[in-house]
């Protein structure tokens, strides 16, 4: 029973272009959403987050968009750089819970080519 889905296992983008990574969730209780980036043989690194009271959060080249009615979020990276090549995980949480667990998608492998 997967509560968080990243339907694209891979994405290939040319340097300088926009990368758009997508994520869908099933449970309307989730109200805090995060993106993590992971390089091989390393742990996930926090990238950006958004709470359900907002529909957009921007940090430099990274922007996360949230569509609550569609239970969908996306991460936009612009312009994409070769160093952005990594696996990107979407994670969600229920802020009302004190248990703090995160639910992760399976990840999308982003490759940015020169």
Partner 1 sequence: NAGVMQNPRHLVRRRGQEARLRCSPMKGHSHVYWYRQLPEEGLKFMVYLQKENIIDESGMPKERFSAEFPKEGPSILRIQQVVRGDSAAYFCASSPTGYSNQPQHFGDGTRLSIL
Chain contacts with partner 1 (rule: CB under 8 A): 4, 6, 32, 34, 36, 41-46, 49, 51, 89, 91, 93-95, 97-107
Q: Work out how close the CB of 101 gets to partner 1 at its nearest, in angstroms, rounded to a whole number.
A: 4
Would you state the structure tokens that stand for residue 49, as one six-digit string? 């987050």
C-beta of 15 vs 102, nearer to partner 1: 102
Q: Work out how close the CB of 13 gets to partner 1 at its nearest, in angstroms, rounded to a whole number.
A: 22
C-beta of 38 vs 72, nearer to partner 1: 38
Beta-bridge mates of residue 15: none
Residue 55, number of CB atoms within 10 A of its CB: 12
C-beta of 43 vs 60, nearer to partner 1: 43
Beta-bridge mates of residue 112: 13
Residue with tokens 């969600």: 92
């Amino acid at each position: 029973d997967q509560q968080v889905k990243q339907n694209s296992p891979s994405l290939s983008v040319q340097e300088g272009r926009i990368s758009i990574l997508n994520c869908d969730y099933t449970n309307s209780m989730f109200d805090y959403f995060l993106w993590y980036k992971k390089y091989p043989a390393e742990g996930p690194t926090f990238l950006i987050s958004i709470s359900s009271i907002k529909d957009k959060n921007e940090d430099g080249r990274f922007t996360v968009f949230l569509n609550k009615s569609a239970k969908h979020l996306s991460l936009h990276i612009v312009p994409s750089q070769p160093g952005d090549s990594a696996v990107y995980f979407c994670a969600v949480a229920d802020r009302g819970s004190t248990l703090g667990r995160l639910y992760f998608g399976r990840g999308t492998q982003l490759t940015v080519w020169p």
